[in-house]
């Protein structure tokens, strides 16, 4: 069933549309990143490496382990 816009309906401005699109894009990007992180952290090999780093005391938690690993890799690759 098609609906006809009301003649007195308030239209969104270009700025409002741009803001809505930006918000939706950010939400979709955040959701995509969450899905990617979940899939990566669900891998047994990745989970084992993180657990090993935390158990050794080298890192306090997963976030620190991932951050330090990335910094180490970037340093090794860019030198």
The pLDDT of residue 5: 67
Q: N- to C-terminal Cα distance for the chain? A: 63
DSSP for 9-37 reads PPPPPHHHHHHHHHHHHHHHHHHHHHHHH
Dig out the tokens for 67 from the structure: 């951050």
Interval 6-53: pLDDT, tens: 766 678 888 999 999 999 999 999 999 999 999 999 999 999 999 999
Q: Do residues 65 and 54 lie in contact, with contact meaning Cβ atoms separated by under 8 Å?
A: yes
């Amino acid at each position: 069933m098609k609906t006809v816009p009301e003649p007195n309906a308030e239209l969104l401005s270009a700025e409002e549309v741009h803001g809505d699109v930006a918000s939706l894009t950010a939400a979709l990007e955040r959701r995509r990143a969450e899905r990617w992180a979940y899939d990566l952290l669900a891998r047994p090999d990745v989970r084992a490496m993180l657990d090993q780093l935390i158990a050794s005391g080298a890192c306090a938690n997963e976030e620190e382990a991932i951050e330090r690993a990335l910094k180490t890799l970037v340093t090794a690759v860019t030198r």
